[in-house]
Structure 1
Amino acid sequence: MSDPLQHPPLRAVTLTHVRYQRGDQLGHFLAWISLVPIFISLGGFFSHFIFRRELQGMFFALGLLISQFINEIIKKSVQQARPETCALLEMCDSHGWPSSHSQYMFFFAVYLTLLTYYRFGALFRNQMSIVGLVVWPLAVLTLYSRVYLGYHTVGQVFSGAVLGAVLGGAWFWVVNNLLWCRFQAIEESAFGRFFYVKDTSHIPNVLKFEYENARAARKHVSYKRAD
């Protein structure tokens, strides 16, 4: 019979494993805030691909994946430890600099801000206040939550935020200056036609365009049934 002490230590999948002090209502709230990147990835980009299949959204998601890959490379290279408070959270088996949560959220906030202003047309430029009142506060709260809950130091979250902002701005420039001219070719490719991928960022008012086309299609179907 094998000795259980000879087996390697167990590790948990910590995708949604966030600890906070029992009875700490602020900690409970910030623990949920820490899960915002998961909600964005699974609920936002996954549903976007299923229902919208916009090339801007796909390259947005690709940029976030590249950003997180860069984060892992830096962490393994620098190997800066997490704060001592991390020992109470069963999360000290990974490195802490830079914070991946902070990097993710600031990449997301910068890219979405630039996309809303420059690519979504005049209709959405009037909605910049929504980005400012929702997305950026969530990004800042994510930084605060990682320090408050003991997962990172202040320096680790700020370095993640700066790196995420820089990568978000750089990736937006790459996509919309170097890759955007290839979007039509991607739409016409075998991949694009099979998965029905598209780019509507050149349409001034996407909501109006889809609304009018949906009504026209419904009228066309009604006329055919009438005949």
Structure 2
Amino acid sequence: MLDKLKQLDHEWFLAINGYHSSFWDPIMIAISDRWFWIPFYALLVAFLIFRFRRQSILMFLAVALSLIAADGISSRFIKPYFARLRPCHDASLSETINIVAGCGGKFGFLSSHAANTFAIAMLFALMLPERYRYFKIFAFVWAIVISYSRVYLGVHFPGDVLGGAVLGILLGFIFGLWFRKLSVRYPYFAPRP
């Protein structure tokens, strides 16, 4: 069973990673680069402060804690424990892989990019009032696109990003519930519906 899953993971990886073009390569590099998103993050912070004022304090705390948990668990515990090589470090794939822009660390399971972005997407899905449903959808699309870029660039298997997505959604759900509980307990910090 595990061998079949590993084979399927490799096949999906080769299919996604094999689709390259001079048009998509720089786009995927930018999407995968954390610094590329700084203007978006700055606008998001400004919007949350402007729209939610004091309520944004609790939101930022929940975001910070979920990112610390997602990044810490994925990078410091899961990657060293499973020690699964990234595709770009796997000698058996060296002749078939397209490494577009470097490789990153030695181990890839699970993807920290996926864990972090899905944690944030899930967190916003639970924190924001219902009228922000389009932003909530955008947050999940954003997480999916970033995760896809990691496979496209040859630094993660699809299983790595799926594992990261599961961890991120779980942590986003936990911190989202924590946020909701504190919002009820301390309504001063709760966002208005």
Same topology, TM > 0.5:
yes
What does residue 195 of structure 1 align with?
none
2:118 is the alignment partner of 1:115:
no
* CA positional deviation for 1:45: 7.3
* CA RMSD of superposed structures (Å): 3.2
Correspondence 1:55-66 to 2 at 5 A = 55-66=58-69
| SS of structure 2 residue aligned to 1:144 | helix
- Decide whether aligned partners of structure 1 residues 37 and 176 sit closer, same or farther in structure 2, where only a CA change above 3 A counts: farther
* CA positional deviation for 1:174: 2.3
What does residue 86 of structure 2 align with?
82
| Structure 1 runs not aligned, ≥5 long | 1-21, 185-197, 205-227
Q: In 2, Cα distance between the equivalents of 1:48 and 1:64? A: 20
What does residue 43 of structure 1 align with?
42
Contact 1:99 1:160 in 2 (8 A): yes
When the two structures are superposed, what TM-score results if normalisation uses the length of structure 2?
0.68
Q: Could you list the per-position Cα deviations for residues 8-44 of structure 1 after superposition, in whole angstroms to 9, with x for gaps in the alignment?
A: xxxxxxxxxxxxxx96211211222113587369636
What does residue 103 of structure 1 align with?
115
| SS of structure 2 residue aligned to 1:146 | helix
- Decide whether aligned partners of structure 1 residues 57 and 159 sit closer, same or farther in structure 2, where only a CA change above 3 A counts: same
- Decide whether aligned partners of structure 1 residues 45 and 61 sit closer, same or farther in structure 2, where only a CA change above 3 A counts: farther
2:161 is the alignment partner of 1:199:
no
| SS of structure 2 residue aligned to 1:127 | helix
Aligned length: 161
Q: In 2, Cα distance between the equivalents of 1:151 and 1:111? A: 26
What does residue 103 of structure 2 align with?
91
Contact 1:34 1:145 in 2 (8 A): yes
What does residue 152 of structure 1 align with?
156
Contact 1:86 1:151 in 2 (8 A): no
Q: In 2, Cα distance between the equivalents of 1:96 and 1:61? A: 23
Q: Could you list the per-position Cα deviations for residues 78-104 of structure 1 after superposition, in whole angstroms to 9, with x for gaps in the alignment?
A: 211100348774425331000011111
Contact 1:103 1:164 in 2 (8 A): yes
Contact 2:126 2:177 in 1 (8 A): no
Q: In 2, Cα distance between the equivalents of 1:38 and 1:56? A: 23
Q: In 2, Cα distance between the equivalents of 1:114 and 1:50? A: 18
Residue type at the aligned position of 2:163: S
* CA positional deviation for 1:107: 0.8
Q: In 1, Cα distance between the equivalents of 2:98 and 2:142? A: 23
* CA positional deviation for 1:148: 0.6
When the two structures are superposed, what TM-score results if normalisation uses the length of structure 1?
0.59
Larger RCO of the pair (alpha carbons < 8 Å, separation 6+): 2
Contact 1:107 1:165 in 2 (8 A): yes
- Decide whether aligned partners of structure 1 residues 89 and 126 sit closer, same or farther in structure 2, where only a CA change above 3 A counts: closer
